[in-house]
Amino acid sequence: MPLTLATQAPGVPELFASLQGEGPSAGMPVAFVRLSRCNLACEWCDTAYTWRFAGDNRPHRSGAWHDRRDNQVTLPEAEVAGRIAALGQSRLVITGGEPLLQAPALARMLDLLPHLAVEVETNGTVAATAALDARIDQYNVSPKLAHSGNPAELALIPDRLAAYAADRRAWFKFVIAAPGDLAQVLALQERFAIPSDRIFLMAEGTTSAVLRERHQWLAPLCLQHGFRLSDRLHIHLYGDTRGT
C-alpha cells in the first residue's frame, strides 16, 4: 500500500533534511517525513493541514479548513524510501499528523532503509505493529493534555501510556500553555511511573517571542521537578513554516 504524506506545496511531499527542533534529539541533522491524517484534533495544532480538511468540524483556533488535494499526496513506499535516501542523512524522523496510523506501510518502507536510525513522533494513542516497532530507535511521545481540547478518553489511553512508560526508547514531551498545565503532567507521571529524566516540558507557541516569554516560567518548573526543557529550535531558525 502507498503512504499518504502531507505537502509543503501542492503536490510536493513534505520530505526534507533539517535539524531536529524538539526533544532529546534537538539539534541533530535528520531527514524528516511528515505523514497526513490524525486521530486527534488539538485546538492549537501547528500542522492542522495534515487533518483539518474541508468538512472536518473538529475545533481549531484558526477556524480554517485545508483543501485535501493541495495538502495530501499519496506515494508508493519505494518512492518515499528513495526520496529519504537521497537526503543523505543517517537518522530519520517520522512525524505527522499521527504517523502510527500508517504503521504497516511504514514498516515496509523502512525495510528499504535498513541502515537508518529511526525516531517516531506520536501522540501516544496508537501502538506500532511488531514489524515497525522492531525498527524504531526512539519514540517521542506527546500525550495531549486537557488544554488541547481533546477528550481524555481519546487522548490518554491508559494501556498505551503504561506501555510507553515501560519502554526505555520512549521519551515524553508535554506541551505546556500555562503553568496550571503542570498539574496534569504530575498526575500522569505518578499514575504511570514515568521517570522524571524522560519527561520534557515544551512551551506551546509558534513564534520566538511567545516561546521565550513562556520559558521564563517554564524553566523554573523544569528545575523544580527534575524535568527537561524542550525548545522549538526550528521556530527560532525558520519560523512556523512547512518543510523546516
What average pLDDT does this structure show over 20-43? Answer: 98
Please report whether residue 197 resides in a domain: no
Per-residue confidence (pLDDT) for residue 230, from 0 to 100: 98
**Is 1's pLDDT higher than 80?**
no
Q: How many domains does the chain have?
A: 1
CATH number for the domain that contains residue 140: 3.20.20.70
Please report whether residue 67 resides in a domain: yes
Per-residue confidence (pLDDT) for residue 7, from 0 to 100: 98
Please report whether residue 206 resides in a domain: no
**Per-residue pLDDT band at 35 (split at 50, 70, 90):** very high
Q: What is the pTM of this model?
A: 0.97
Per-residue confidence (pLDDT) for residue 194, from 0 to 100: 98
Please report whether residue 205 resides in a domain: no
Please report whether residue 125 resides in a domain: yes
The 3-state secondary structure of 22-46, one letter per residue: CHHHCCCEEEEEEECCCCCCCCCCC
Q: pLDDT tens across 81-98, in order?
A: 999 999 999 999 999 999
Average of per-residue pLDDT values in the chain = 97
Share of the chain above pLDDT 70, in %: 100
Q: Are 81 and 112 in contact (CB under 8 A)?
A: yes
User: Which structural domain, as residue segments, surrounds residue 69?
Assistant: 3-175
Please report whether residue 155 resides in a domain: yes
From the DSSP assignment, how many helices (H) and strands (E) are in the chain? 9, 11
Please report whether residue 151 resides in a domain: yes
CA nearest to 75, candidates 5, 26, 23: 5
